[in-house]
Amino acid sequence: MLLAVALASAAFAASAQEPPLQIYTVKNELVNWRGDGLRDAEGGTVLAPAGLLTALGNGGFLARRDGAYWLYDARGARIAGPYDDLEAVDPALDALIVGVGGSPVLGGDGGLIDGRGRELMAPIYKGFGYLPGTGLFSFEQARRWGLADARGQVLVKPTLDGVADAPGAVLVGDAGQQGLMDRAGRYVVPLSERPVSSINDGASKATGYFAVCDSEGSVCHGVDGAGRPILGGRSFSSAMFHADLARWVIAEAPEAAPAVQDDGTVAIGIPASQRWILADERGRTLASFDCDYLYRIGGLFRAARAKDEGGDCVWGLVDRDGKWRVPARYDSIEAIGNAWGVNADIPAAKADEYAVGIDGEDRERRFGVLAADGSEILPPRYAQIYYRYPEFGLYLVRQGEKIGLVDRQGVWRLEPTYSETAPNASLPMPYLMLSERDDDGDGPQRDRYAIIDLRTGKPMFAGDYEYLGVEYDFRWGKLGLPWEEFAVVVAKRGDKYGALDLQGRVVVPFEYDNLQGMDTWGRLRPTRKERDLPLVSGLGPQRSARLHETLSRRLREEPAPHASPAMPYAGRYLPVDYRSAGQVRAALASGRLSRGFAPMLLLDEDTAIIDLDMIVDKKRPDFDFLEYYCPRDDGFDLLLPQSALSEEACADPGAPKLEFRASASASAGPDQAWDCGNCAAKGLPARWVRTDPAADATLP
């Protein structure tokens, strides 16, 4: 007996000394498939990639695979499951929320287990959830809420009306009263009629401090998560803490000031003007301001002083110590935002710059730009500052009724000749779409569109177009096909639509009443006299051929989705007659194939990428890039383009589809053979093989 115990202890110690397993990920970007697996220190696969894996604090793993949730130990052995829902909420806690019938937040019943699958709280509660930063869990029973710790111990019985998380503490409510509990479930602010709320920062993120206010919510005091006073006990009507600057912005609680009415009596309760305080972390006053309100913009604070006795304010900027960085002399001041598509990682994109406005004698406000140090970049002479392009040192501004681009020296890169940014103006850098409206009253309104290159300030191409719309399929980016080369510009000239490339060359002639609905192959649906016509290519022959060639290569280079019980038909499929390079060359030479790639299908869970355009047969279906398929017990059905929605088509025996079934003939070597009963009638090969069979031989 002692020997057995000693051997078991030695084995456990040896296991503990082994290097931990590593999670590795296999991805296929084309179908957005991801599979996580486990491998050892030598790179050997312990758990094949499928679904998602999460490392747990006890050394084990949480897995979502095969249509369920599971627990694995540190050596990659499955130890518990399946679960309907399982969530690891905090790596510091050996506790996971388990759901029966789905997520407890979405209608399932919730409870707690540890990382070895041992039950801590039975999954019988509704609304079971974690309160971040507290180590506590909330649960609902009979529409009342309680609290439990990570061991499953109930700290507060389900007697409360509601609970809400906040860093380090729990906001609770009961019978219209509010209070604050610590992590042990003890009241640090007892239940009362006084409102209790979290004090947030400028991004509405909780700070771990709380405001306890009077019943009117006008006079408050601050406490921390343990209920201890903060800010030296000073009262306020509102407060905001900026942790990165260690500064408070405080609105002092209003004091009731007597006021004499017309009849000479005193009216009580009229508040005096409110003061705003910039304070340090302990609540000590650094600066105070009596005009309007104080708030943070960028790395500074916008502050005001009285402009005149009429109560108007002028604005400036103060630093974290309350010292004026920009003197208060502007009628408005706001941070300038970056334009859509600006690279947020470049240093210039992170620098603070401000649009400032000054009211002129004509009562018109004109705007300029200041740097964070208060130096003037652009003087206040523009009708509006919209946003900036920091990489190019440009600002989109309005001058009079027109907009243009001006650089940091005040030189026009693009003269203000356009009316507005086009509604579909979100183009990648360095391009911008603008429109000019012809509205002189001498005829119908008419828009003119242009695509501007920010580097030159000039239109990409000349032409009088009443509409421009740029199309680019996001999958092309995954294939490495540049936007500048493959963007398709749908244009309207006169009353007809056509398509251009970014150099303004006509790809689709201007002879259609409309062009819309570009698919992944770059094809557009034209209409004429309210009739849909056959698809036309917005890419043209050369770019279209490059797209197909690139896709064919990537289909063969990227890992195929791994088959699993949840997706048994995943993988790559080739016709039996095109498994070797020699077979493909022979088919190309004989004219059966139009290019030197074998036809291929790539299946994931419910969709298939279809690469069949090289088959030279007029009966071949005109598939889109991606089509749905219907899993069956003995194979799958690939829906044809004219099918209805996949849910309906899969349930309809008469829906047009290609029927793939596991072959009853001899196995094709290491590959898995499949027969397509109705493929030949559609000009497609009838016998196929899966070149990426499932690791589990029991799968089809």
Q: Is 533 in the same domain as 611?
A: no
Last residue of a domain, one of 534, 559, 584: 559
Picking from 532, 559, 586, the residue at the C-terminal end of a domain is 559
Q: Does one domain contain both 537 and 608?
A: no
Residue 177 lies in a domain: no
Give CA separation, 205 vs 56, 165, 166, 200, 209, in Å.
Answer: 27, 12, 10, 5, 11
501 and 555 inside one domain: yes
Residue 581 lies in a domain: yes
**Residue count of the chain:** 700
Specify whether 605 is located in the same domain as 648: yes
Collapsed DSSP state (helix, strand, coil) of residue 582? helix
Q: Rounded mean pLDDT of 395-415?
A: 95
Q: Is 656 left (phi over 0), alpha (psi -120 to 50) or beta?
A: beta
Give residue 204's pLDDT: 80
Average pLDDT, the chain: 87
Cα distance from N-terminal residue to C-terminal residue, the chain: 47
Q: Report whether pLDDT(90) > 70.
A: yes
Residue 411: band (very low, low, confident or very high) from pLDDT cuts 50, 70, 90: very high
699 assigned to some structural domain: no
User: Looking at the domain assignment, is residue 496 inside a domain?
Assistant: yes
Mean pLDDT computed over 573-590: 93
Q: How do residues 4-23 score in pLDDT, each as one tens digit?
A: 434 434 444 445 568 999 99
Domain end among 536, 559, 582: 559
- Whether 528 and 571 map to the same domain: the answer is no
Element housing 608 (H / E): strand 607-611
My answer on whether 518 and 465 are in the same domain is: yes
**Bridge partners of 298?**
none
- Beta carbons within 8 Å of 197's beta carbon, 6+ residues apart: 171, 210, 211, 213
Q: Does residue 674 form part of some domain?
A: yes
The residue with tokens 């770059």 is 522
Question: Do 609 and 673 lie in a common domain?
Answer: yes
pLDDT average, residue stretch 105-120: 90
The DSSP letter of residue 255 is P
546 and 607 together in one domain = no
Report the candidate in 388, 299, 309, 375 with the shortest Cα–Cα distance to residue 344.
388
Mean pLDDT of 32-36: 91
429 DSSP 8-state letter = T
Residues 577, 618, single domain; the answer is yes
Segment 233-253 shows an average pLDDT of 92
Strands (E), 89-185: 96-100, 109-113, 119-131, 136-141, 144-148, 154-160, 162-166, 169-174, 177-181
Answer yes or no: is 598 within a domain: yes
Give the structural domain span for 607. Answer: 561-690
Going by C-beta distance under 8 Å and a sequence separation of 6 or more, which residues neighbour residue 77?
none
Residue 514 pLDDT level (bands cut at 50, 70, 90): very high
Residues 361-380: tens digit of each pLDDT: 888 999 999 998 889 999 99
Are 495 and 511 members of one domain? Answer: yes
pLDDT > 90 in the chain, percent: 62
**Residues 191 and 177 sit within 8 Å (Cβ to Cβ):** yes
Answer for the pair 399, 383: CB distance below 8 angstroms, yes or no.
yes
DSSP structure string for 385-399: EEEEEGGGTEEEEEE
Hey, what are 213's tokens? 């206010």
Residue 681 maps to a domain: yes
Task: Supply 44's token pair.
Answer: 């050997």
Both tokens of 539, joined, read 């890419």
Structural domain contains residue 346? no
Q: Give me the pLDDT at residue 661, please.
A: 93
Split into its structural domains, the chain has a count of: 2
Q: What is the pLDDT of residues 642-700, one digit of tens each?
A: 766 667 888 888 888 999 998 876 444 445 789 998 999 999 999 999 987 554 444 44
One domain, residues 537 and 627: no
Radius of gyration of the chain (CA): 34
Which residues of 229-362 form beta strands (DSSP E)? 235-236, 238-242, 247-251, 256-260, 266-271, 276-280, 285-289, 295-297, 300-306, 313-318, 324-330, 332-335, 353-359
Are the C-beta atoms of residues 61 and 50 closer than 8 Å to each other? no
pLDDT, tens digit, 9 for 90 and up, residues 451-497: 999 999 999 998 889 999 999 999 999 999 999 999 999 999 999 99
Shared domain check, 657 and 599 = yes
CA dihedral (319, 321, 322, 324) in degrees, to 10, reads -50
Beta bridge partners of 34: 27
